[in-house]
Amino acid sequence: MYRDPDSLIIIGNFFLEIGVDAKQVRLEVFKQIQQAQPNFVESYLAGAELALAKNDYALAAEDFQKALKLDEHNPRILYGLSRAFESSDSEQAQQYLNRALEINPNHLPSLLFVAEKHLQAERYEETEQVLESILKINPAHPNAWALRAVLAHLESDVIKETFYREQALKHWRENPEIDSLIGQHLSQKYRFAEGAAAQRRALKFDAEYLPAKIQLSNDLLRLGDVEAGWKLAEEVFEQDNYNVVAYNLATLQDHMEKFRTLQGDGFIVRMDAREAEIYGDRVLELLNEARQVLCSKFNVELKETIAVEIFPRQQDFAIRTFGLPGGAGFLGVCFGNVITMNSPASQGNSPSNWEAVLWHEFCHVVTLSKTKNRMPRWLSEGISVYEERQRNPAWGQSITPAYREMILGEDLTPVSDLSGAFLRPPSGQHLMFAYYESSVVVEYIVETFGMNVLVAILDDLAKGLPINYAITRHMGPVEQVDERFAEYIRSRATDFGATADFSRDELPKQADSNGWKTWLEDHPDNYWGLQQYALALIREKNWEEARTPVNRLLELVPDYTGEGSPLLLEARISRELGETEREVAVLNQLAETNSDAVDVYRQLAEHYTKQEDWPAVIANANRILSVNPLQPEPYRILAEAGERSGDIEAAIHGLKTLTLMDPFDPADVHYRTARLYEKQGQLEEASKHVLYALSEAPRYREAHELLLLVIEQMSAKSLKKQEAAE
């Protein structure tokens, strides 16, 4: 009885409805059918859709692809594949979605997915058009009405929002999916408080509706209510151990229990215990500076504590931030009052400048607070990158040959559609260009209209006005703004290397130095040709001759210090030719405009050590620390420079930190630290470190002498206190 596969699928779904363990259903029902009836499509669909519901995208994709081999024209399968690939391969996902709609233009799940994509990209008119199409096919489709409610909410139209939600609930008054869907999309817009409220409404309808419960958990974690957020995640995992997000959060909580918590004025920082000892104070110092500068600039008073979480494992950062592993390329994310960041430890051998990242993310705190989280992504990112440059010219982004090509080509996005540039960019370079272009829009607003206009636009957003309406109010019609900004940024692009030839069409595919020299006779100012000619000569160690194309490059792009900059080539040539003064001048130019050029900072520190220019040595050691504070080298540099120059604060900072990093000679490091504390009159600290030195090297004569000196001074100090008391 009930042995036919269709009946078994029904039984499996029934088990899921009554709360039987989902993994068990998958393995003991759906998987068994697949093995017994390998050509039965529905068994793969059942397994795939279950995996998809649990955020197990890899397994979902595997089963959907097996189903596709059996039924390649089934839009349900193609739609499922689109969902499964969405987070890992957006281009492939779009292809599957397009195929689904080619086969059935009225396939409602696919159309809803299209509407959701438009909604994410802030293409609200297109969202409404797709929803109209869906409602023509099915006027009562609850999810379409729910998405309309989201649109109305984003437009601050309470009457429409209420009506659309009522329509969504018309045929099932207590359908928890409706409010959960509404809340999910509000949270995608960083409206976490409103999203959480929607999830709570869903849970009033059904207290065991797990999609709402896990989304509420994430919302609360992003709002900083970590105790309630973790508790909900645990509850979901206990009820459904196949829920990938719940499992990930439960695992993450175990890792974060080992974190150390630092507290400052209005800040709480959670980070790895060892990292907290090494650079936790520096994190708090930078946060305090950022608050003073940015809150004043944007007229913001932060009333709630800001939480910053710094993760030494990229996977933990991704799970805390997105709920799932992935997120490669993201260095930090701000949710409003919560910042999550990758620590330098998570970034391999070439970490980014963590200070620039933290400043960028804290700027999001300020602007999101200013607008009540009601701002488009492009403006939020644009302001943060712009403010990076304001804080330090080496931070943020600047124009490059690649960006010049994109601006003057087909890759420039109108201001009115810039948020879409962040959604599924064709490449990593396109995403970085979206950040850059957005920052130039902010620069354009400030230069052309003034900082007060930028602040006024943010105030309008806080009132619920759409961005394009706010722009029109303060800057003129948005079409005109699109046009004038395009002129502004294109002018910048044409000014970059104005006399250079950036064409690539006639470049030789391969050539040695002689080949490039001959080619350049007809293309004397071609940037790429000059660059390749210089590199070919450098490979041949023909330093003197290499200087000719490098000098021409420096004439063409004198201020360019990014990837492939001729200044890097000039520094190498100068070093090889023994032209130290020229090399140092070039290295300084690079250091002043690059945020993570650790090799440059190191070379400068070495040079200035030889010159005994200790302030310059300390400055470059601090530059290294702004990129990677977890390596002992910059602390050794700080310690030596501080001791040699009499900068005791720098020396103590370097030495104390070295004591935490398993130094080669711990007795020496502790002794030197104790000696400096003794000079400062900090006798208890001096005593502590000299005893550490003696515990490492009991016969250390100088340490014994220092200990006697410290004890003598402490005794004299104690005697004076007693005499004063009498």
Has residue 2 got a pLDDT over 70? no
Q: 308 forms bridges with which residues in the sheet?
A: 269, 339
How do residues 11-25 score in pLDDT, each as one tens digit?
888 887 887 888 888
Query: Is the distance from CB of 284 to CB of 305 less than 8 angstroms?
Result: no
- Give residue for tokens 């990677």: 628
**E strands present in 399-474:** none
Tell me the pairing of strands 267-271 and 260-264.
Answer: antiparallel
Q: 307 forms bridges with which residues in the sheet?
A: 268, 338
Selection from 395, 384, 359, 408 nearest residue 561 by Cα:
395
Whole-number pLDDT of residue 33: 83
Q: How far apart are the first and last CA of the chain?
A: 100
How do residues 404-428 score in pLDDT, each as one tens digit?
999 999 999 999 999 889 887 888 8
Helix (H) / strand (E) element for 340: namely: strand 338-342
Q: Tokens representing 483? A: 């046009």
What is residue 263's three-state secondary structure? strand
Q: Average pLDDT of 180-201?
A: 96
Q: Average pLDDT of 178-202?
A: 97
Q: Average pLDDT of 186-204?
A: 96
Q: Tokens representing 225? A: 């209510």
Q: Which residues contact 546 (CB under 8 A, 6 or more apart)?
A: 534, 537, 538, 569, 573
Whole-model pTM?
0.92
How do residues 516-566 score in pLDDT, each as one tens digit?
999 999 999 999 999 999 999 999 999 999 999 999 999 999 989 988 899
List of domains in the chain? 5-204 (1.25.40.10), 398-487 (no CATH), 664-726 (1.25.40)
Rounded-to-integer distance, Cα 128 and Cα 89, Å? 26
- Give residue for tokens 């050691």: 621
Helix (H) / strand (E) element for 264: namely: strand 260-264
Task: Annotate 182-195 with b (16+ C-beta within 10 A) or e (fewer).
Answer: bbbbbbebbbbbbb
Mean pLDDT of the chain: 93
Query: Is the distance from CB of 689 to CB of 674 less than 8 angstroms?
Result: yes
How many Cβ atoms are within 10 Å of 265's Cβ, its own excluded?
Answer: 9
Whole-number pLDDT of residue 113: 97
CA 75 to chain centre: 35
pLDDT confidence tier of residue 723, bands split at 50, 70 and 90: low
Query: Is the distance from CB of 606 to CB of 624 less than 8 angstroms?
Result: no
Has residue 1 got a pLDDT over 70? no
How do residues 447-480 score in pLDDT, each as one tens digit?
999 999 999 999 999 999 999 999 999 999 999 9
Tell me the pairing of strands 267-271 and 306-311.
Answer: parallel
How many Cβ atoms are within 10 Å of 98's Cβ, its own excluded?
Answer: 14
Query: Is the distance from CB of 417 to CB of 378 less than 8 angstroms?
Result: no
Burial class (CB within 10 angstroms; exposed 0-12, middle 13-18, buried 19+) of 342: buried
Q: Tokens representing 600? A: 């440059």
Q: Comparing 175-179, 250-254, 433-437, 542-546, which segment has the lowest mean pLDDT? A: 250-254
Rounded-to-integer distance, Cα 68 and Cα 57, Å? 16
Whole-number pLDDT of residue 298: 98
Rounded-to-integer distance, Cα 380 and Cα 395, Å? 17
**547 vs 26, higher pLDDT:** 547
pLDDT confidence tier of residue 726, bands split at 50, 70 and 90: low
Task: Annotate 691-725 with b (16+ C-beta within 10 A) or e (fewer).
Answer: ebbbebbeebeebeebbebbeeeeeeeeeeeeeee
Long-range Cβ contact pairs of 101-106 (< 8 A, separation 24 or more): 101/75, 103/73, 103/74, 103/75, 103/78, 104/75, 106/137
Q: 340 forms bridges with which residues in the sheet?
A: 309, 333
How many Cβ atoms are within 10 Å of 491's Cβ, its own excluded?
Answer: 11
Has residue 625 got a pLDDT over 70? yes
Has residue 724 got a pLDDT over 80? no
CA 334 to chain centre: 8
Q: Tokens representing 19? A: 């709360």
Q: Tokens representing 157? A: 């139209």
Whole-number pLDDT of residue 329: 80
Nearest-10 Cα torsion for 23, 24, 26, 28: 160
DSSP codes, 158-176: HHHHHHHHHHHTTT-TT-H
Query: Is the distance from CB of 519 to CB of 492 less than 8 angstroms?
Result: no
Q: Average pLDDT of 224-238?
A: 94
Query: Is the distance from CB of 357 to CB of 289 less than 8 angstroms?
Result: no
Q: Which residues contact 375 (CB under 8 A, 6 or more apart)?
A: 367, 368, 458, 461, 467
Indicate the DSSP class of residue 653: H
**4 vs 532, higher pLDDT:** 532
Selection from 151, 176, 177, 181 nearest residue 163 by Cα:
151
How many Cβ atoms are within 10 Å of 42's Cβ, its own excluded?
Answer: 18
How do residues 316-346 score in pLDDT, each as one tens digit?
999 999 888 887 788 999 999 999 999 999 9
Has residue 665 got a pLDDT over 80? yes
**350 vs 223, higher pLDDT:** 223
- φ, ψ (nearest 5 deg) of residue 536: -65, -45
Q: Tokens representing 449? A: 């209209």
Q: Average pLDDT of 662-680?
A: 92
Query: Is the distance from CB of 110 to CB of 82 less than 8 angstroms?
Result: yes
Cα→Cα distances 633→558, 636, 660, Å: 32, 5, 13
